[in-house]
Structure 1
Amino acid sequence: MPLIPTLLDTDLYKFTMMQAVLHQHPAAQVEYRFRCRTPGLDLGACIDGISAEIDALCALRFGAEELDYLRGLRFIRPDFVDFLGLFHLDRKYVHLARGDGGGLDLVIRGPWLHTILFEVPLLAIVSEVWSRHGGRADREEGRRRLRSKIGRLVEADPAAEIAIADYGTRRRHAGDWQREVLGALREGLGPRLVGTSNVMFARELGMTPLGTMAHEWLQAHQALGPRLRDSQKVALENWAQEYRGDLGIALSDVVGLDAFLADFDMYFCKLFDGMRHDSGDPFAWGERILAHLEVNRVDPRTKTLVFSDALDIDKVLRLHAHFRGRCRVAFGIGTHLTNDLGVPAPSLVIKMTRCNGQPVAKLSDSPGKSMCEDAGYVAYLRQVFGIAG
């Protein structure tokens, strides 16, 4: 049985972005690169197992019932589902080799429309193959920790006000473990569990699939025009044109919060349902977002702040207490739910680095989360957006 059993075993925002790419940028060419942020992992020792799983991934096709499920999502258009009926992932776009010092050299390069679905399953493959190779994870310890987390949330939130979502596919210990975690969360948290980013599990378990856009959507617009300085505004406008008011959570940290707020004017404040935090101090971020909404004559209580950066239960409880009653708040939790089994989980990412032959970058609000191999472009990007180096 392959580690990735279906092409639905990915995050919803990959499909929402892919639909927009089909309609707006079908000819765009991109490059993604893998990075392990955890030092000292000999991922190169797992290369044969990873390669075999990539082959199995590229043999998958969407089944008729899977396409019917996607067709039933209110924001998915019929022509996109028809396209997916012909789609498969092509191995020729993935370049895999041993890297320096025991690392893994993994690059995805090709048409954006035909490569966008690689990221999440590839990360899940690397994470699970590494977990099997390392062999130190303790599922009984993972279950004990999960029960403790569920108990703490229920005890701290008797009125079921806290909204939790599973965002853990890309760094999960294993696919069957994520399924077990979701079952335990659904039983233990009840209405506090509002959904999962994983489309396969949402379909299988009767849950709500959740997601809007990722960093790559805004990054790609740095190369898609018309002007670099306008790239965020164009990306947000194009998103609004695609979804006409649906899927209205904007990502705020592609070139830093200062630049985001400069672009996110009254029009966008009123147009979008909320914003997602993914780097930097979440409390300071939330305070600045609420102040920005008020300056733009928008009642923060009508908007949702989604927190998704390295969350654990302590942080969820503190953030909820801090912003409760001032706005709507939701939490997307990843590794802390799906890969907390008594041993440190590797921090793995795949990020877009080029689009149409030009470098693109994410200038994160957290040190170490930025990713671009072209220092000259990063300096230029900072200059254009007025960001201190």
Structure 2
Amino acid sequence: MIIASLLDTDLYKFTMMQVVLHHFPAAEVEYRYKCRNPGIDLTPYVDEIRDEIAGLCRLRFSEQELAYLRKLRFIKSDFVDFLSLFHLQQKYITVEPSTANNGEIDIVVKGPWLHTILFEVPVLAIVNEVYFRATQITPDYAEGLKRLHSKMALIRDDAAMAGCKVADYGTRRRFSHAWHEEVIRALQKDFGQHLAGTSNVYFAMEYGLTPLGTMAHEYLQACQSLGPRLRDSQIFAFEMWAKEYRGDLGIALSDVYGMSAFLRDFDMYFCKLFDGARHDSGDPFDWGERLIKQFQDNRVDPTTKTLVFSDSLDFNKVTALYSRFKDRTRVAFGVGTNLTNDLGYQPLQIVMKMVRCNGQPVAKLSDTPGKNMCDDAAYVNYLRQVFEITSEA
């Protein structure tokens, strides 16, 4: 099976899941899958994807895995106790050819948030691996390693990049589990101090790496339904996060409503409370400048804060961003597809997004056109009005 461990996912799934267990255990949600590549026919693989998901739903956390989670300083014992009983359930997920007969497939996850939150990352990894093992029978691993070593050298062999650290964020869009592991091994062997860690909890455990991650878009989106009122949903999300983690895991996600709306809510209290913020859409250089100014305007020293860049990064962009900001703030980088799916083939741009919570539409309003995903245009327009977002994204 493609997924052999429930830890083979991103850390922020567990950090968000813990918040759900403690604060929103009754929330009901819906996720939908989308492939952004035009002309990709995935319908021949529907049965294989279903079989792999069936295997995923047979997995349980091992005692070794539970013990590892229990050692993480921010994971609480009652959450680990819950995970000891947990498994994903097939009744909450469907995989069907699209009714539009356009080669696309419809994957829908619907059920309690607490019992569905762990589907997204492994399901996307399954779709990727099923597709690539069918279309690339003899993968060019030598080309992949050549590209990987060129990337590492770009930073490792440049004295000006001495403090630059890069993390692996590539689980969901990786070429395969085996290739992902090969990348991790190469990074650990040849990238040295420049490897910050990985978002993948399984590989963090297996290779003694730092697991990295805090919150994702779905958390702030769900708070549109779970909070007291829509306009305060972003503030509510940050406050509930702080209530759970008491200052730990302090990187806020900034692009659910666009940067301008984020900065209106990220006031002096949050500037001091959080360790920094993560960029995931829009121009990263402009984002960094605006966030540094926000800290300065709120009498916070930017050199004590961290800017995390994670939007479609390649190593050239990493070096440019590091050079711009390294002397003015702390910077960190999470590289995904360009790290774990660069063997010379066109990667799949696939996502699975939350579209409803407790029966209400939810959405993000990205600073990057094409990243939004909501089937209720009236709600998106209302969200724009509430958060004073005038640009089309």
Alignment TM-score, normalising by the size of structure 2:
0.98
Q: How does 1:1-389 map to 2 (within 5 A)?
A: 2-99=1-98, 100=100, 101-135=102-136, 137-157=139-159, 160-388=162-390, 389=392
Partner letter of residue 259 of structure 1?
A
Q: Alignment partner of 1:306: what SS?
A: strand
Aligned with 1:369: secondary structure? coil
Greater displacement, 370-379 / 137-146: 137-146
| 1:36-69 deviation digits (Å, cap 9, x = unpaired) | 0111111111111111100000000001111000
Query: Which consecutive unaligned segments of at least 5 residues does structure 2 have?
Result: none
3-state DSSP of counterpart to 1:213: coil
Query: Per-residue CA shift, 1:210-254, capped at 9, x if unaligned?
Result: 000000110000001200000000000000000000000000000
Query: TM-score, length-normalised on structure 1?
Result: 0.99
Question: 1-side partners of 2:303 and 2:19: how far apart?
Answer: 29
| Deviation (angstroms), 1:139 | 1.3
Q: CA deviation at 1:267?
A: 0.1
Tell me how far apart the structure 1 counterparts of residues 45 and 140 of structure 2 sit (CA, whole Å): 20
Q: Tell me how far 1:138 sits from its aligned partner.
A: 1.7
What is the SS of the residue equivalent to 1:186? helix
Q: Distance in 1 between matches of 2:159 and 2:375?
A: 44
132-141 vs 377-386, greater mean Cα deviation: 132-141
Equivalent residue letter for 2:7: L
Cα distance change on mapping 1:157 and 1:242 into 2, 3 Å: farther
Give the superposition deviation at 1:156.
2.1
Residues 170 and 340, structure 2, Cα contact 8 Å, conserved in 1: yes
- Name the stretch that deviates more: 66-75 or 150-159: 150-159
Counterparts of 1:191 and 1:203, CA distance in 2? 18
Shift of 1:310: 0.3
Deviation at 1:146, TM superposition (A): 0.7
CA distance in 2, matches of 1:225, 1:234: 6
Identity of aligned residues (%): 63
Number of aligned residue pairs: 388
In 2, Cα distance between equivalents of 1:63 and 1:184: 27
- Between the aligned partners of 2:299 and 2:215, the Cα distance in structure 1 is 25
Helix, strand or coil at the partner of 2:191: helix
Q: Which amino acid aligns with 1:84?
A: L
Separation (CA, whole Å) in 1 of partners of 2:160 and 2:377: 50
> More deviation in 14-23 or 181-190?
181-190
CA distances 1:250-288 after superposition (whole Å, capped 9, x unpaired): 000001111100000000000000000000000000000
- Residues 295, 180 of structure 1: CA spacing in aligned structure 2 closer, same or farther, 3 A cutoff? same
Amino acid at match of 2:286: A
**C-alpha separation in 1, matches of 2:301 and 2:157:** 31
Q: SS of 2:220's equivalent?
A: helix
Structure 1 outlier segments of 4+, above 6 Å: none
- Give the CA RMSD over aligned residues: 0.9
